[in-house]
Amino acid sequence: MIYKTLLILHVIAGFTGLASGLAAMIVKKSRGIHTQAGKVYYLGMYASGITALIMTIIKFNPFLLAIGIFTLYLVYSGKQAIAYWRVKEPWSLRFNELAPSLTGILVALFMIGYPFFQMIMEGRFFVPVLGIFGIVLFINALQDLMMLRKVSNRVPRNKKFLLQHIGKMGGSYIAATTAFLVNNVSFDPGWVVWLLPTFVGSFLIANAIRQWKVRLRIQ
């Protein structure tokens, strides 16, 4: 009963996040509808990710666990990027600001290693989808860590954080879309459904960042 209730909440939160995230992407990027839709998006994704984590405690599912943590990390770092952009004076780095990136790196290593452990134990080969997501998470977490450790980045109105916001929120939307498709679309081979949103979404994110670099005059 508890698991079923969590699943319903997870689906509602995920659908709310997908709808509000789409709205945030297509409207003008300024305070107003974009900001409000963004708030609904990250709250929906937080709820979706947290319910996913609780569900994996009840019934262990490494893929659901990975997607939940993956989404939570990208939403958090995307939201935090805007907070860093809005600071009014240089700040000193604290451990709690590094902790999410360090946690992300550890989780990513698990995601990369677990599929290979499965292949060894089961004596068969399969496309390590979980490992691919782990590599993406590892790269994101490592980039975040390096960016925060660089003193020259911790200044007011650093436009690099705006680009980071685009990349992280876009990445979290890819993760949410992937979870939706995996649970609702049947396709053989299954790894196509897992990876197609990443390939398409990564192209769109790269294009958006390229356009904003021109707009913000970032080299």
At 219 the pLDDT is: 65
| Residue 60 token pair | 């262990």
In whole angstroms, what is the distance from residue 170 CA to residue 14 CA? Answer: 15
Nearest to 74 by CA among 163, 162, 143, 137: 137
Tens-place pLDDT, residues 73-109: 999 999 999 999 998 899 888 888 999 999 899 989 9
At 75 the pLDDT is: 93
In whole angstroms, what is the distance from residue 59 CA to residue 148 CA? Answer: 36
Whether residue 75 contacts residue 50, with contact meaning beta carbons closer than 8 Å, is answered with: no
CA distances from 124 to 120, 127, 210 (A): 7, 10, 41
Q: Which of 54-58, 64-68, 143-147 shows the lowest per-residue confidence on average (mean pLDDT)?
A: 64-68
In whole angstroms, what is the distance from residue 109 CA to residue 124 CA? Answer: 21
In whole angstroms, what is the distance from residue 88 CA to residue 156 CA? Answer: 5
Domain ranges of the chain: 2-216
Looking at the chain, list the stretches that DSSP marks H as alpha helix, in order from N- to C-terminal side. Answer: 2-26, 33-58, 62-85, 95-122, 129-149, 160-184, 191-216
In whole angstroms, what is the distance from residue 207 CA to residue 2 CA? Answer: 42
At 168 the pLDDT is: 92
| Residue 11 token pair | 């689906």
Mean pLDDT of 185-211: 84
At 78 the pLDDT is: 92
Residue 175: which pLDDT band, with cuts at 50, 70 and 90?
confident
In whole angstroms, what is the distance from residue 143 CA to residue 122 CA? Answer: 34
pTM as predicted:
0.86
Q: If residue 134 lies in a helix (H) or strand (E), which one and from where to where?
A: helix 129-149
In whole angstroms, what is the distance from residue 218 CA to residue 204 CA? Answer: 19
Q: Above 80 in pLDDT, residue 63?
A: no
Q: Above 90 in pLDDT, residue 66?
A: no
Q: Is 106 helix (H, G, I), strand (E, B) or coil?
A: helix
